[in-house]
Amino acid sequence: MNSLCKLLAQRLALGLLSLLAVSVIIFLAVGMLPGDVAQAMLGQAATPETVAALRLQLGLDQPALTRFFHWGWQLLQGDLGVSLANQRPIAELIGARLGNTFSLALLAALVSVPLALLLGMLAALYRNSWFDRLLNTSALSAVSFPEFFVAYILILVFAVKLAWLPSISNLSPDASLGEVLERSLLPVLTLSLVVVAQMMRMTRASLINLLASPYIEMARLKGIGQARIIFRHALPNALAPIVNVVALNLAYLVVGVVVVEVVFVYPGLGQLLVDSVAKRDIPVVQACSLIFAATYILLNTSADVLSIASNPRLMHPKG
């Protein structure tokens, strides 16, 4: 237990250092965006004096290091700042959209994780068969296509040709659960098709690797069926790499929704990020990017800890 707590503390410390490094990168990257914020807000007809006054009001005349420490101090106090575009608190803008993004990622995870594990186990059970080859070919094809291409294909088939589902996932605040599920189905399907392939292939590879172990050979000699060997003997020992890849794909589901939300006009954090970049709303861009980075680092750290905890031998490596 002490070893696990020590491991968790080390990973959390590394996660905080990674978040600090990412916050510096985000601040520098946003600062290097082309154009001038004050000029973009006032328009091309603004006079130089008006632009200079607005830059002074927004604190853009200060050195970059001073602005970074001011931004960091606000974050430590839980203050995300105020949007430059509409003067609303950023926490208020992010609140509802963050829930939409996490809901979309959760729905995709509920669909993709059980499906990927089941397909991976079936592929290992019937490896080298036509079923296994079909799954591998489909998985490689799904991984090869980018999300926006998969999204447009699904829109073409289910929204344009068949007219079964709406092509735009705009949600009203008073939308019912059925309406939310209907409008989220195509984005969820897009995300699931992308991540299922990776998790299925990792599950299959981990199980097939363990099937060559001596204890599996002994189980076969005892006359135990192939299905029981995989589900009862091989799967528990293959959990470490499977848990790792599942957690990493969950992180991708949260961070990778940006493209999907833009394609389907889904009112999530990714759509807010893209809109804020177009408006040159730097505080909102920084806040959204930091939330995505923190979520990815947290899930990545969780994947590391869970993969080690599920295999105690990794907690005591040989010197």
Rounded alpha-carbon distances, angstroms, from residue 173 to 27, 85, 224, 269: 32, 22, 55, 15
Q: Would you tell me how many other CB atoms lie within 10 Å of the CB of residue 280?
A: 20
Structure pTM? 0.75
Give per-residue pLDDT as tens, 227-256: 777 777 777 777 667 777 777 777 777 777
User: What would the pLDDT profile of 189-220 be if each residue is shown by its tens digit?
Assistant: 888 887 888 788 878 887 777 777 777 777 77
Give CA angle at 41 (281, 168), nearest 5°. Answer: 55
Mean pLDDT of the chain, nearest integer: 77
Please enumerate, as own/partner, the contacts of 109-114 that have beta carbons within 8 Å and a separation of 24 or more: 109/250, 109/253, 111/188, 111/189, 111/192, 112/191, 112/192, 112/195, 112/196, 112/199, 112/249, 112/253, 113/199, 113/246, 113/249, 113/250
Per-domain residue ranges for the chain?
Answer: 92-270
Q: Determine the angle formed by the axes of helices 90-125 and 130-144, rounding to 10 degrees.
A: 160
pLDDT tier at 319 (50, 70, 90 boundaries)? very low
Question: Which residues on neighbouring strands pair with residue 124, listed in sequence order?
Answer: none
**CATH code, 92-270:** 1.10.3720.10
The string of pLDDT tens digits covering residues 9-62 is 777 788 788 878 887 887 777 767 666 666 666 666 777 777 777 677 666 667
Tens digit of each residue's pLDDT (9 = 90 or more) over 56-106: 766 666 777 777 777 778 777 777 777 777 778 888 888 878 888 888 888
